[in-house]
Amino acid sequence: MIKKERSSIDDVVIRLAGDSGDGIQLIGSEFTIATALAQNDIGTFPDFPAEIRAPAGTLAGVSGFQIHFGSHDIYTPGDYSDVLIVMNAAALKKNLSNLKKNGIIIANEDGFDAKNLRLANIADHENPLKNQSLDGYKLYIIPITKLVKEALKNSGLGTKEIDRSKNMFVLGLICWMYDRSLNSSIEELKRKFANKPEILSANLNVLQAGFNYGETAEIIEEKYTVAPAPMEAGTYRGITGNTATALGLVAASVKSKLQLFYGTYPITPASDILHELSKHKNFGVITYQAEDEIAAISSAIGASYGGLMGVTASSGPGIDLKSEALGLAIMLELPLVIINVQRAGPSTGMPTKTEQADLLLSFFGRHGEAPMPILAANSPADCFDTIYEAARIALEYMTPVYFLSDAYIANGSEPWKFPNSNNLKGFNLNIATEKDITENKFYPYLRNENLVRKWALPGTPGLENRIGGIEKEDITGNISYDPNNHEKMVHIRANKVEKIASSIPLQQLDSGPAQGKILILGWGSTYGIIKTACLELAKENIIVSHAHLKYLNPFPSNFGEILEGFETVLIPEMNMGQLSLLIKNKYLKPVVGLNKIKGLPFSTHEIVDKVKSLLSV
Amino acid sequence: MSIQELENISSFTSKELVTDQEVRWCPGCGDYSILKQVQTVVPQLGLKRENIVFVSGIGCSSRFPYYMETYGMHSIHGRATAIASGLKIARPDLSVWVVTGDGDALSIGGNHFIHLLRRNLDLNLLLFNNQIYGLTKGQYSPTSVEGQITKSSPMGVLDHPFNPLALALGADASFVARSMDRDPKHLQTSLHRAAAFKGTSFLEIYQNCNVFNDGAFFIYSDKETKMEEAIFVEHGQALVFGENKNKGIRFANGQPEIVNLDEGKFSVDDLWIHDETDRYKASVLSRFYDDPAHAGHLPRVFGVIYAKERASYEQAVHEQLAASKTLFGDGDLDKLLRGKQAWEIK
């Protein structure tokens, strides 16, 4: 056989799937790093079950990881995959519908034995590897488990450990397919198994075996190069939304010179922020794993009262529990950042699946008139900038601030051109000093022109004062049940939030003309998908405009004018129309909703198709 | 240091702890006495006024911070313990006092209460126990006694009550004490002990609600009954009570037993000597919780039942921060942002 040359491709979407014990996420993250080092642009999407180890081989236990990379800008993990790599029958059954026609399947033959077929509810005589049902695809059947056993027969390891290293075979094989270096994976394995030389040696052996299999077995015809993407010059790293959120908080702490206090309670999909922050104690970061969600936010309020940067985080169910304490933070007018990594609800919902259905909760989920600023990140790396901005608003305006992320960007990753710390903006704090004492009195609710009160830190002589959740008299902060005072205070608190609009950037269009037939208006994690949809449409000479909101409360001051430029405002949201409701109410603007509530992000084509149907093309 | 010397350090007087706010408890409420004793004791602790913070939840007792000319926060129901925990971790330099009630700490805030005690932050936890919900006008609380007639239990309370001291010891509290509003001297001594203790000092204060549960604890303070019903323990002292101190408590076969010292069979030498550091015996003392109507019941214990210092949580937190700096050096933000695997695009 004549050796085929590598062919060059612009982009590819690979989906890896197997049992949740198969180490699929590790293949994904290592391949992502190798691909980043090859200078492609990347979008990834891990898709795993909530159960840590659902029964092996079952549909419920299937864990997936999708990576989209290419030689041009990539904004999404891709709608459909070009390549599907499956470790067992259940993984194939669950993911086949996501594979493009004529796509490539690489299947671990040993995952399609009688037992695995039974676990996947496939009759023995219907083994898809044998019954021609996959004829429309390019199918490669590789006895991965057997090959790994063979490679490790002299390793002295037990069957279980040998079986566990089969993910490295797949990693080696796809690195060969796409011309990626194994070096970064080798380095990571050396770090990970520094104290387990036998395991290290076995993993390295299998990684190389997978690579060599592609190189020498000459069974797989698919071998490619993907040229580097023309990215802006600079230094990059790969980052997930949750890591970016954690780093943004550390950065805000360093730049504001305020110690970070992170009070939280474990919950999917927010816990990774806690894991990351707990590694950075040498920045003075205090992570406090409280006894419950209420204690988590309460402790953060206590820390803020003491002059630290108080932050709390959760997801849907935990956010519900924090509502009362948020109201307290609004009354106390203390800085606080509350992170909601949204997931599919209500109640427990689907903990590992994404949704944007907490927008109205953020706006209105507290009793009484209790407005607070709300920001939403639009991509994994954007979590850094957005949480940093949330911290700025909290500290400069003495208010709790909502930061919204969701499972899609929290776990997804992309290359990030990280900033130099010198280029990060500083913070204007409002800390009270002895100078704020007038005639022997300190007035805790005296305000500046932005209606912001001062932060009186315990330990400052002469500023002793009492604050609390009971309605307070303007200026003095004393308890007051006066009807006029209450109405006045409600207005002051609302106006304070409205005034933040003067300190945030004007809304820009992400793409497209300022006037036209259609504006696609998005918020949060739909950014990359809408952007990709606009590019797809442009290829067909369909020009639409795209605006993406980061500031949801208050809206940017020019936002109404932007809306006026368009005949139709299309709002794709992973909810039943929550931003739509707000826009219709505030701007009296008719909007068209595109709503998806499947626990999954939009596909590009869903947006493209909607635009086409609106334009009747 | 003598109280006089400490007062000099404090450089503020009891009067200077009074705020300009009108005290709004019902006339005759036990809270007045507690406020008075706290305002008497605090200037004697050698603290700077600006370093003192009173944090409360919701309930009659929780109005307390408004009447103390220190820093203060009147927070939300049940959460004072959680807020104070965050504050103390953030600011170990502050003297943090939590004022709470039986509903606030043991019902809606029960979870934070036990977790605070197990973590053992160095703060003072004053639980005003009046066995009733006062602010909401007279419903039973988790310490109301079975059968108690209240507005929400016209036929009598069905719930079995909490025993706060036993609950605290069960949560591994390091300092557990009981006092009462109607014994100012004892209350002051107890407050001194609580303040001096490093760790969570849990002081239960029996407090009379003269409107909704009047006289709930009078048998422990009234002249006629006090000697028989209350026993005041002190470290190293024998457990003696009764009119003319003629009764004692012996610890025999793992059980407390009331003995008469007049009969010649037992003398003071046979009695249980109180040891504040004995967790097991403290648990037994906390169980002196019988219904006073029962014949042969044990007297209710007042004083410091258990006090043994162990590492405080916030101290451990800050030691870990320091250890991290020693191990990894001061945090370098640019290094952190760069991560382990960065690449350059030219």
Instruction: Write down the number of H helices and E strands in chain B.
Output: 11, 12
User: Which of B75, B84, B90 is opposite residue A261, by nearest beta carbon?
Assistant: B90
State the pairing for strand pair A99-108/A62-70: unpaired
Coil, helix or strand at residue B185: helix
Q: Answer whether A458 sits within 8 Å of B327, measured CB to CB.
A: no
Residue type, A337: V
Asked which of A225, A256, A281 is the last residue of a domain, the reply is A225
Would B278 be classed as within a structural domain? no
B21 neighbourhood in chain A, CB within 8 Å: 466, 478-479
Q: Structurally, how many domains does chain B consist of?
A: 1
Domain end among A225, A258, A284:
A225
Residue written as token pair 């205090």? A286
* Residue A443 shares a structural domain with residue A580: no
What pLDDT, on a 0 to 100 scale, did the predictor assign at position A65? 96
Query: CATH number of the domain that B132 lies in?
Result: 3.40.50.970
What average pLDDT does range B190-201 have in this prediction? 98
What pLDDT, on a 0 to 100 scale, did the predictor assign at position A3? Answer: 60
Residues A277 and A328 in one domain: yes
Residue B65 has its nearest CB partner, among A232, A460, A466, at: A466
Nearest CA in chain A to B85: A299
Q: Are residues A184 and A277 in the same domain?
A: no
Would you say residue B345 has pLDDT above 90?
Answer: no
Return the pLDDT at A427.
97
Picking from B86, B93, B111, the nearest residue to A300 by CB comes out as B86
Residues of A (475-504) whose Cβ lies below 8 Å from B:
478-479
Is B263 among the domain residues? no
A407 and A308 within one domain: yes
Tens of pLDDT, residue by residue over B48-74, are: 999 999 999 999 999 999 999 999 999
State the Cα–Cα distance between residues A457 and A451, nearest whole angstrom: 19
| Residue A2, domain member (yes or no) | no
Pick from A234, A420, A478: CB nearest B21: A478
Cis bond upstream, residue A269 (ω within 30): yes
CB contact under 8 A, A465 and B55: no
Mean pLDDT, chain B, rounded, equals: 96
The three-class DSSP label of residue B71 is strand
The whole-number pLDDT of residue A220 equals 84
With a cut of 70, list the residues of chain A below it in pLDDT. Answer: 1-4
Domain boundary among the residues A478, A502, A526 is at A502
Same domain, A195 and A219: yes
For residue B12, the enclosing domain spans: 3-216
Closest A-chain CA to B94: A459
Does the residue A448 lie in any domain?
Answer: yes
Does A532 lie in the same domain as A514? yes
Question: From the CA atom positions of chain A, what is the Rg in Å?
Answer: 27
In a domain? residue B289? no
Range(s) of the domain holding residue A131 = 7-225
| CATH code of the domain in which A411 resides | 3.40.50.970
Higher pLDDT among residues B206 and A55, named by residue: B206
Distance from CA of B308 to the nearest CA of A (A): 24
What average pLDDT does range B148-160 have in this prediction? 97
Task: Give the number of domains in chain A.
Answer: 4
Same domain, A571 and A464: no
Q: A280: nearest CA in chain B?
A: B331
Mean of pLDDT values over B321-330:
98
Q: What share of chain A is helix, strand, coil (3-state, %, to 5)?
A: 40, 25, 35
| A429 assigned to some structural domain | no
Q: Is B48 on the interface with A (CB under 8 A)?
A: yes
pLDDT (0 to 100) of residue A264: 98
- The model scores a pTM over 0.80: yes
B53 has a chain A CB within 8 A of its CB: yes
Whether residue A303 is found in the same domain as residue A215: no
B261 domain residue, yes or no:
no
Structure tokens at A491: 């207005």
- pLDDT score of B84: 98
A220 and A329: one domain?
Answer: no
Q: Rounded to 10 degrees, what is the CA torsion of A100, A104, A109, A114?
A: 20
**Is A330 part of a structural domain of the chain?**
yes
ipTM of the complex: 0.97
